[in-house]
Chains A and B, each alone.
Chain A
Amino acid sequence: MTALDTQAPAATPARTEPLTRRSWKAPIAFGVLGLAALVLFGLLGKSGEDTTFVISTDNDWVQIGPVSVPSKATAILLGVLMLLLAAYAAWRAWNRQPLGRWVGALFGVLWVLSFLAWAVAGKSMSLVGLLQGSLILAVPLAFGAMGGLLNERAGVVNIAIEGQLLTGAFGAAVVASVTHSVYAGLIAAPVAGLVIGSLLALFTVKYRVNQIIVGVVLNVFAVGLTSFLFSSVLKPNAATLNSPPRMPVIDIPVLSGIPIIGPVLFRQTLLVYLLYVAVVVITIALFRTRWGLRVRAVGEHPLAADTVGIDVQATRWRNVLLGSMVAGLGGAFFTIGSVGAFSQEMTAGKGYIALAAMILGRWTPVGALAAALLFGFSDKLQQVLGVLQTPVPNQFMLMLPYLVTIVAVAGLVGRVRGPAAAGEPYVKE
């Protein structure tokens, strides 16, 4: 009880109901996109054709036959549903009530389905394969994003994820090739990522160079180094140095038989299972342990952390190295996790997409995974549709993941706040 409470007369009360502005962004976006889908995919679609979705795989408990739907009618129906969602969003906006996230997610699913109904008209496509492939392609993105957030949560911006993925891929390929062991490759990948990570830490934490620039330059360095070594050492000795075994698919008994989600989640390579573990471990570590609290303190307010005795520079060093190892591990995907041999610049910008996934996922592992899945899905979709020879020219499909990233960073994200002190070197007098 303060002296003021008992003795002084009461202060005039503050206003109780908050005044908010109506936000029309979501309903308008939904309305426009829904209308576009209705018209382009539904009304203008070819009539008389069916789209077939294959849902089951051989080992499922329950076999669900392929689902065939009339293309045009389905697209029109989905379009109408989307417009209903838009109307709902408008009603919520009018009443100044917030819109649940589920609306956006549902809208996205409907939109994609209607697009598929149109694009795959007259042909068939495996839905399970699509989802399985999305997760696979999301692996390097998710690892990269988690590596990135380990760095940024401690206050160091990491643009060099691309370089870490690339060196990780390189290291995994070479070591696995030489030792004929995928597992050795899996260990080599994080170590390779560490090469870039230690340079990043050295220049940003110790020498306080601008973090974004160091990241960009390190990517150039990684490309140069791996390409150089590829041309001078790997190509002439491809048999010994660049023919790694590929990771086998490990089928988890029982769980992999669940219809639809079984094959997607439980019939994957070890790398994917490591991803699940990583997401859980990093989430717990970052938000429930003493280590995590200190890391986050350093990333938000390094001076405050310093004043309670936390060693800011050491924390940043450790996290940069740790993050680079996680990202490096993700790099193993490109070689031993899929095609096997290393080729120049094979990461093709995935590191930057991982960065976007990190932001979209609000610097949390679970969020990063979800965002990575979104991007992985668009990537896989592009591949599947490319094979099916859909009406859209191939080059535009190749653009798709990158366009999705732009839309995500610009539209869906809004103004997010990253760790407050990320990007600034910590200087002690």
Chain B
Amino acid sequence: MSDEIVGEKASPTSGMPEPEKAKAAEDRGERALREIVSGDIGVSVLAFVLALLIGGLLIAFTNPDVTAAAHYFFAKPMDTLTAAWNAVWDAYAAMFRGAVYNGQADTFQKAIRPLTETMTVATPLIIAALGVAVGFRAGLFNIGAQGQIILGATVGGYIGFTYSLPAGVHLLLALLGGVLGGAIWAGIAGVLKARTGAHEVIVTIMLNYVALYLLAYLLTTDKFTRAGSNQPTSPGVKETAQLPLLLGDWSRLHAGFIVAILASIFVWWLMTRSVLGFRFRAVGSNPHASRTAGIGIPTTIVLVMLVSGALAGLAGGVHILGTEHQLTGGIAGSLGFDAITVALLGRSRPLGIFFAGLLYGGLNVGGRVMEAATGTPIDIVLVIQALVVLFIAAPPLVRAIFRLPTPRTAVAKGAAA
């Protein structure tokens, strides 16, 4: 891996070929269907289906009922297959119940509560993924979202539980604190990369662990310890700093969701309509030409990391002020790494990230219910998530598996002498 500043041509999104009109020999409906299925959206959906299939296989093979029935597979094969089917169906049905709609509920509110839960969990994911995506589009791999979220939650939480301030102001300051915490933490990696060429993948990952232990240490200090508790937990965030609930008491959905929407719009504006975003994209696409055009590479690197970390820190702040309301060692959970996969799934574009975040939020929420209801370990969700991203990134593989034709590609790069 080259440690030099220039020379990193990163396109985390593999270019999608544009389907051209096929010859009019076939029925137009058939042709249209084929194009849809082998185009962008089709491949994404199929990737998801494929990932679910493989996940289903894993669930089936490790389910105790299935393994029991497999012992006498040759005598009564149907038992094994039925057990497998039941295991997978139960697991996924529970996931759906937990993530989207609970058909077994008796009130409307309880029925759609899963959906609101998905939105709640998706909120910090979306914001952090936006931060990671800004990095990607500038050619920087910010794998440190986890540490930046921790810092954001720590600073935001600290402001939240230490000071007493009027309602709106307190919340804003706490969120701002989160932004600053994340920005500074990412900024360290940015400065190191800009000045010494240290590869940001390694530095940000190391900083994740440093952040983790830093938080662990802080939780042993007085300021961060809740009175009367012997668990490492911080005092509770004061009401004036908490994000208000949007739908009332029956759902956890809070104003952070609005923040997520605003953040998506902001990142869209930043990357497509602002001078800064133009520079970020230029550096991400071709640092040499950017340099020759007067764009300062070291400054840009630092700015990118600051923005990226700011968003991740905001996610941490929203997380603690919206749902957790107190600081513990595991506050960040797996948000940081989920954010990376959400950014990849959303192809580093705000709209894609928004929906990918909802999808992942759903998988996580549904996964918890699935684990509680059927005993299937929630880690299968990680496997599904990773597989979806891998398949999305390699459309030819998905097409090969489903035996779909390749849409005709646009002109290849000119190869003339």
Contacts and interface: CB of A to CB of B under 8 A. Distances in A.
**In the complex, A touching B, CB below 8 Å?**
yes
A353 B3 CA distance: 16
Interface in B349-398: 376-377, 379-383, 385-387, 389-390, 393-394, 396-397
A293 interface: no
Contacts of B12: 210, 213
B1 A207 contact: no
Contacts of B390: 199, 203, 209, 214, 217-218, 221
A406 B203 contact: yes
A356 B202 contact: yes
A208 B62 contact: no
Nearest to A395: B217
A220 B386 contact: yes
A227 B379 contact: yes
B141 to A, nearest CB: 5
Contacts, number: 172
A341 B213 CA distance: 25
Interface in A142-190: 152, 157, 159
Given A227-B382, A228-B379, A203 B394 contact: yes
Contacts of A213: 12, 141, 344, 389, 393
A423 interface: yes
Interface in B200-214: 201-203, 205-210, 213-214
Contacts of A227: 377, 379, 382
B15 to A, nearest CB: 10
A413 B383 CA distance: 36
Interface residues of B, number: 57
Contacts of B344: 213, 217
A352 B206 CA distance: 8
B210 A418 contact: no
B287 to A, nearest CB: 14
B192 interface: yes
A395 B213 contact: yes
Nearest to A212: B141
B309 to A, nearest CB: 16
Contacts of B198: 406, 409-410, 413
Contacts of B58: 225, 228
B216 A221 contact: no
Given A208-B14, A210-B12, A224-B386, A396 B213 contact: yes
A359 interface: yes
A67 interface: no
Contact of A232 (B62, B337, B386, B412): B62
Interface in A91-128: none
Q: Is the interface of B mostly helix, strand, loop or mixed?
A: helix
A399 B202 contact: no
Could you say which of A218, A230, A409 has the most chain B C-beta atoms within 10 Å of its C-beta? A409
Contacts of B9: 424
A152 B1 contact: yes
Nearest to B387: A221
A157 B1 contact: yes
B3 A406 contact: no
Interface in A192-223: 199, 202-203, 207-210, 212-214, 216-218, 220-221, 223
A396 B214 CA distance: 7
B396 A207 contact: yes
A403 interface: yes
A423 B8 contact: yes
A416 B3 CA distance: 6
B355 to A, nearest CB: 19
B196 A402 contact: no
A429 interface: yes
A197 to B, nearest CB: 14
A209 B385 contact: no
Contacts of B42: none
A230 B387 CA distance: 19
Contacts of B214: 395, 399
A233 interface: yes
Interface in B1-38: 1-4, 8-12, 14
15 contacts: A214-B390, A214-B393, A221-B382, A221-B386, A223-B379, A224-B379, A224-B382, A225-B383, A227-B379, A228-B62, A230-B379, A352-B206, A359-B199, A403-B206, A406-B206
5 cross-chain pairs, A with B, having the tightest CB-CB distances, nearest first:
A224-B382, A231-B377, A221-B386, A395-B217, A207-B394
Interface of A: 152, 157, 159, 199, 202-203, 207-210, 212-214, 216-218, 220-221, 223-225, 227-233, 236, 348-349, 352-353, 355-356, 359, 393, 395-396, 398-399, 402-403, 405-406, 409-411, 413-418, 420, 422-424, 429
Given A217-B341, A399-B210, A410-B196, 5 more contacts: A212-B10, A221-B382, A227-B379, A232-B376, A429-B412
Interface of B: 1-4, 8-12, 14, 58, 62-64, 141, 143, 192, 196-199, 201-203, 205-210, 213-214, 216-217, 220, 337, 340-341, 344, 376-377, 379-383, 385-387, 389-390, 393-394, 396-397, 412, 415
